[in-house]
Structure 1
């Protein structure tokens, strides 16, 4: 039997249509137990199988029943995190004309999906109304290096590129280091995912939500959506992220835990796991009085790696729901990359 082909555009339209049906009018404050904390300090320090199992059990529960968690004990230096937030604030404080020198998808730059994205962009995620944020984006994959991205001149923002590169490298190392936790959580050998992440595709987004007054009911800092990633590692400097808890069947205001990453599974991991892991619905706003900054790191397998249904997530009574697909044939295709 020939496997059904993946239709990237149809999937993009399906996700967008679903998002319009979500009732986001009520968001609850987080209560004790709402948001699991996955602490990987012991595993990263010792590499022990016991510590790996403990972290994997918590992660499994989070990804199957809640949809997101706070990652603690990750080892990313607090000074680097502070430097990164300072660099992002400095970038967005520049004059608009300076930032527009590296505008997203400018015609004379060969790489798409990177650069400065002004307020009101209708992509990432694609929506009818523009998102009320501005962002600077870079990405990496096999054959795509830091040099292939757009950067301001060093004289425009001294030290900025160095901090961003250091942070991106640290997040790549972290993301790879927790792949065994995901593998064991899914009943696989710890090194199962390693072949698919030799040259992972990632995108780093440095986002500023200006302090706009109360928005229309159908306009957001960033519109309701699901990420299309394996997983996303997010830092936020202040509240504003709202995530749908599958456990409570309610929108939850994600608290800011100092030094912790908010982590959510994306659509590709949901499909790869045959819907075992949740693809998390979320959106973001400001309170209308102050700027908010967030730094999501979107992490995926090698762009050309074929993600066939995981062997522990399908069987005679649970056949694969999705065709084998790679990132470049799914989201990269849908986004015109």
Structure 2
């Protein structure tokens, strides 16, 4: 559906060239929700703006649904952009227009007859859950409602691709969850391909099928969301994963347990997909002669299946503890030993 090959983007400044993107290769399958995550300045906003040619690449090729975007004439590019909707962090609504007229705006530009515009706007208002707010102006809407207007407007021309530029960053947690649920609903009902950029890993976990991690203009890690959560390879990816698999309270609990049981092994288990549905711990207790205490844990759902973590205290003879860890790993569970037996407490 979307292919980026050898993408580079340079900006000229008074001090010289700035490399915003440096050799991006990326492929997004039709119907997927693809997340791009990175810290501020990593290049993710530049990347998403290149897909609909709001900015042109310095090098490389961008293909969207069979069209080489950088080779299109101005008219052909305008037509191609109708197939790519975009929503923004700060909504970008027209403040002098009400909800209906904001949603109708791209249809007016496209020359759609009034009766057809009204039908389409009504359909989109229902889709995004804004019934009763048709005549409200942006100043009368909450942040979540404004973003729903932005989503409806982006869908007005029946695009095949929806680009989301930090679409939930300006929203509170509860509203963020509602908007993410709406994006999943749209993806499933319309078969829309969605590319979403963010710096929040819980957004990736909740709705994305695939994820790419970008750092200093380079994709450093990429894959199925469950695979990346189960076994992150790069330090930056591990930091992002910790955003949703651990918190300060659990880390403090682990520190306290390490002080209380300095001779025991402490291990963090990460379950993903089918492994999260297996009775691994009960089987472990049946087969291995060690004491197992649960320190903390959580379980959540991703678009590709369950994801969970457990932190365990394993107490027993060293060979038995080693056998227990091997048994768990053989069940498809990733095990990170936080503290080895008799390890000095830091």
With structure 1 as the length reference, what TM-score do the two structures score?
0.24
Q: Which has the higher contact order (CA 8 A, sep 6+)?
A: 1
Bigger proportion of residues as strand: 2
With structure 2 as the length reference, what TM-score do the two structures score?
0.24
Larger radius of gyration: 2
